[in-house]
Amino acid sequence: MPTVRAFWLQQTPSLPRLGGWPAWLVLGLATASLLVFALGFQGDGWQWPDLADPLVRSLRLPRILSALLVGAALAAAGAALQALFRNPMADPTLIGTSSGAALAVVCIMAFGWRALPLPLAAFGGSLLATWLLLALVRLVGGGSTGLLLMGLMLGSFGAAMTGMLLFLSDDLALRSAMTWLSGQLGSTTGAPLAWAAPVGIAGIALLLGLGRDLDCLLLGDEAAQGLGVHVERARLLTAVGAAMAIGAAVSVAGIIGFVGMMVPNACALLAGGGRRRLIALSATGGAAFLLLMDTLARGIAYPVNVPVGLLAGFVGPMFFVWLFRRKMGDSA
């Protein structure tokens, strides 16, 4: 019996690879026009943005900047984690690092340790989760599937703890944390951008610096060592950089899944190239993607503000299935 396959599950024809500057030009132009559109867009219409307008300046602009930061940080972290774990399906949400960050943030809120800035707490939680996962993967093994499963378990555990904390507390502030957790931009629960941006940008910068080492790590630990890479240090620094980026993103916008997996894979497929270039492309592409999603989220059920995380949750799983099938097809 012939197998029937959905059209989007079929192998993609090999796409032409975009060269150096055209890729950047296309991305840059797309982001810029999207930015202008988002600035002037309101659910019921569009007008040329007037920066003097307080609505534009103090509501839309911060929200747009948050979208750019969160998208860039998640995609850059995803690109780095995929090299670190040698698995194209590694994503901050799928492997539990986002949950670690969210748990830390909810802890801060629940126990009222407001003295500790949220992005730093989120960084700590995410770093802890990444380390735990690295240790678990070493201890248990199981290869590519083992990593995904253990990350999933770690994420579920973190989510369960978070849910328990939220459930047990009757504080109103924590109730609003629920909306924040589902991945929303422009809420007031999350960390202020001024705190999160430096942490996130520093994390992305650290990951960019590690680009060439990550390329070597993809060849296997021994080959990387043979090329002069300090493997343990490169791993540790990658975990730290990714945790900074993820911590910043989660503290601003809660858990937004799949951006960290979709964007780097799309970039690798379309443009390829070394990890540093891929991280930079992913950061730009992730910023543009999340801004697009958030602009859609603002308009789709206007005047209701749909969490952008929910919207990304629609697109992400389909992409994941496609990618998983592609990978399985390659190794078969």
Interaction of residue 20 with other proteins, rule CB under 8 A: no
Nearer to other proteins, 149 or 269 (CB): 269
Interaction of residue 229 with other proteins, rule CB under 8 A: yes
CA-closest candidate to residue 289, choices 274, 267, 273, 272: 267
What is the rounded distance in angstroms from the CA atom of residue 156 to the CA atom of residue 151? Answer: 8
Nearer to other proteins, 30 or 269 (CB): 269
Nearer to other proteins, 44 or 222 (CB): 222
What is the rounded distance in angstroms from the CA atom of residue 92 to the CA atom of residue 70? Answer: 12
Give the residue, chosen from 272, 296, 302, 317, that forms a contact with other proteins under the rule CB under 8 A.
Answer: 272
What is the rounded distance in angstroms from the CA atom of residue 174 to the CA atom of residue 106? Answer: 8
Give the residue, chosen from 42, 169, 179, 225, that forms a contact with other proteins under the rule CB under 8 A.
Answer: 225
Query: What is the helix (H) or strand (E) element at residue 287, kind and residue range?
Result: helix 275-300
- Can you list the alpha helix ranges (DSSP code H) found in 169-274? 172-181, 193-209, 211-218, 221-226, 231-253, 259-270
Binding to other proteins in span 53-82, by CB under 8 A:
none
Q: Which amino acid is at 145?
A: T
What is the rounded distance in angstroms from the CA atom of residue 279 to the CA atom of residue 273? Answer: 10
* Tokens standing for residue 18: 């975009």
Interaction of residue 273 with other proteins, rule CB under 8 A: yes
Segment near other proteins (CB under 8 A), from 64-72, 113-121, 130-138, 272-280?
272-280
Give the residue, chosen from 9, 10, 17, 20, that forms a contact with other proteins under the rule CB under 8 A.
Answer: 17
Interaction of residue 200 with other proteins, rule CB under 8 A: no
Helix (H, G, I), strand (E, B) or coil at 250: helix
Interaction of residue 5 with other proteins, rule CB under 8 A: no
Segment near other proteins (CB under 8 A), from 62-70, 93-101, 205-213, 308-316?
205-213
Query: What is the helix (H) or strand (E) element at residue 80, kind and residue range?
Result: helix 61-84
Give the residue, chosen from 105, 108, 215, 238, that forms a contact with other proteins under the rule CB under 8 A.
Answer: 215
Half-sphere exposure of 74 (CA within 13 A, CB side): 38
Segment near other proteins (CB under 8 A), from 49-57, 171-179, 267-275, 300-308?
267-275
What is the rounded distance in angstroms from the CA atom of residue 187 to the CA atom of residue 331? Answer: 44
Give the residue, chosen from 216, 248, 259, 287, that forms a contact with other proteins under the rule CB under 8 A.
Answer: 216
Interaction of residue 278 with other proteins, rule CB under 8 A: yes
The distance of closest approach from Cβ of residue 265 to other proteins in the complex, given in angstroms and rounded to an integer, is: 9
Interaction of residue 228 with other proteins, rule CB under 8 A: yes
Cβ–Cβ < 8 Å for 331, 107: no
Q: Which amino acid is at 89?
A: M
Nearer to other proteins, 5 or 230 (CB): 230
Interaction of residue 92 with other proteins, rule CB under 8 A: no
Cβ within 8 Å of residue 122, ≥6 positions away? 101, 102, 104, 105, 191, 246, 247, 248, 250, 251
Q: How many CB atoms lie within 10 A of CB 316?
A: 21
Interaction of residue 325 with other proteins, rule CB under 8 A: no
Q: Which residues bind other proteins (CB under 8 A)?
A: 14, 17, 86, 88, 209-210, 212-213, 215-216, 218-220, 222-223, 225-230, 268-269, 272-274, 278, 327, 330-331
